[in-house]
Amino acid sequence: MVETRFDNGIFRITLNRPEKHNAFDAAMIARFSEVLHEIPSETRVVLIAGNGKSFCAGADINYMRAQATFSEEQNREDARKLAHMFESIYLLPMPTVAAVHGNVFGGGLGIVAACDVAIATDDARFCFSEVNMGIIPALISPYVLRKTGVGFAKRYFLSAELFTTATAKAAGLISESAATDGLAAVVDKMVGALSAAGNQAQKSAKRLLHAYENFEPFSRDQLIHELAKLRASDDAQARMKKFLEKK
């Protein structure tokens, strides 16, 4: 479900559930988190991509069905693990790049936002779909807001509208776009530029930038609490049930 390869200083992480559009479940979250802590210290750049038609379509349907039956405490623990995964991406000391295509929904956008650089195909589709299920994009919000600002988030967090790569790029969520058949070349060029720069200087620059942007009006524990409380609410349970029955 998560493939890795390390060569020439590049650590490649590939989400590999193509039949599920790389939607994640508890096992995939656990494995992804493990992989993030197994990255060799000599790595120059971490590249995250997805096999199949989509980069990551958020949470797996069966995983959401399980969440709909969880107690508030079970949802709190589940949310804590997901929060740890996003935080682990964000805190990596070396540059991180997301190569994005297809559907990028919910938590998939958290991976994109937690990376330093994201490059997407022109035809990728994005959506913060959480409010349609009676919950909020709580755990990914710090990473999204650091890149986009509140104005963008207010519209798309509240409306759950689909938006395009052009919109994501204008908001700062995506750094660069590419034609579908040109994504690999654009990503390789970016990885090459990052690999050629000073490693220690990059790590220092990331510490500087993180210190500047870490405002977080809600702490991670507060975000976990908010999401767990909403997941366990009657409204969210009913909305999830209705959503899942459509699927």
Please give the pLDDT value at position 245: 83
Structural domain boundaries enclosing 13: 2-182
Question: Span 157-171, mean pLDDT?
Answer: 98
* Within a domain: 230: no
Percentage above 90 pLDDT, the chain: 73
Give per-residue pLDDT as tens, 11-64.
999 999 999 999 999 999 999 999 999 999 999 999 999 999 999 999 888 888
Q: What is the mean pLDDT of the chain?
A: 92
- Is the pLDDT at 148 greater than 60? The verdict is yes
The 8 Å CB, 24+ separation contacts for 65-70 are 65/240, 65/244, 66/26, 67/231, 67/240, 68/231, 68/236, 68/237, 68/240, 68/241, 68/244, 70/231, 70/232
- Is the pLDDT at 215 greater than 70? The verdict is no
Cβ proximity of 26 and 85 under 8 Å: no
Query: In the block, which residue shows the tokens 């405002």?
Result: 215
CA 224 from centre of chain: 16
Question: Span 97-111, mean pLDDT?
Answer: 97
- Is the pLDDT at 216 greater than 90? The verdict is no
Q: pTM to 2 decimals?
A: 0.88
Please give the pLDDT value at position 217: 59
* Within a domain: 213: no
* Within a domain: 20: yes
Name the domain count of the chain. 1
Query: In the block, which residue shows the tokens 């650089």?
Result: 117
* Within a domain: 90: yes
Please give the pLDDT value at position 227: 81
Q: CATH code at 165?
A: 3.90.226.10
* Within a domain: 95: yes
